[in-house]
Copies of this chain bind each other. A is one copy, B any other.
Amino acid sequence: MDNATRSERSRNAALEAAIAIIARDGPGRLTLDAIARESGLSKGGVMHQFRTKEAVLKALLERQMAHFEEFSTRYMAKVSESSASPNLATQLATIREAATSPNSAALALVAAMVENPRLMALPREREMERMAAIREEAADPDLAMLRWAGAMGLLLSALFGMSPLGKEEHQRLFARLLDDGQWSGLEQPAGKRAAKSSVPSATKAAGPRKRA
């Protein structure tokens, strides 16, 4: 086997093993020996590919980021024409994907944070770019950010095993977050705030039933 592909296979196996361990046993059980055992490699082999444990975490993080980056660009290509706010739609869909992906890919974040909080700088900066794009395209930037925050809340609370929501509710809420039509009723021009209670009713036949 070619040397380059041999290395790549080993690195890959190690990272897959790391994900499996985190998902099965929790981030606290992720050790270099465990990775070696799970991947079939020896400890030395793992250490040859990654000089330190932090390097493993970093590679893991970058791998996950790349994966969702790809999902993102594919989704973006699909909706960039049909949606008025493609960046927001893409982010919401990506977060939903992360929340429903069985391998609990986002757990890599937890592992990284426990071991070395500085590693979070990478995903944060990436997220800031996206957030800027979302703001640019939004008629009501704050509302867009709140929809983003809602998706993150669903994802992270589920990740922590402390979501009080059922799986079906989960899906329904994500669907509503993604549905632009559901939110157009209360968009506010940037910089202006008003305490109004009348209903513009652009999107629905039945008005709210109960008001204070």
Which of A195, A199, A204 has the largest count of B CB atoms less than 10 A from its CB? A199
Residue of B nearest to A145 (CB): B173
**Chain A at the B interface: mostly helix, strand, loop or mixed?**
helix
Within the oligomer, what is the number of copies of this chain? 2
Residue of B nearest to A195 (CB): B181
Q: A16 an interface residue at 8 Å Cβ cutoff? A: no
Chain B residues with CB under 8 Å of A171's CB are 201-203
Q: A136 an interface residue at 8 Å Cβ cutoff? A: no
Chain B residues with CB under 8 Å of A206's CB are 168, 172, 188-189, 192
Measured as residues with beta carbon below 8 angstroms from the partner, the interface class of chain A is 35 or more
Contact A186 B182 (CB under 8 A): yes
Chain B residues with CB under 8 Å of A62's CB are none
Given A84-B212, A146-B176, A189-B208: A181 and B198 interface contact (C-beta under 8 Å): yes
Contact B203 A196 (CB under 8 A): yes
Chain B nearest CB from A3 CB (Å) reads 35
Q: A64 an interface residue at 8 Å Cβ cutoff? A: no
From B124, B147, B186, contact of A185 by CB (8 A): B186
Residue of B nearest to A206 (CB): B189
Segment at the interface with B among A4-12, A37-45, A66-74, A148-156 = A148-156
Contact with B along A53-83 (1 / 0, CB 8 A): 0000000000000000000000000000011
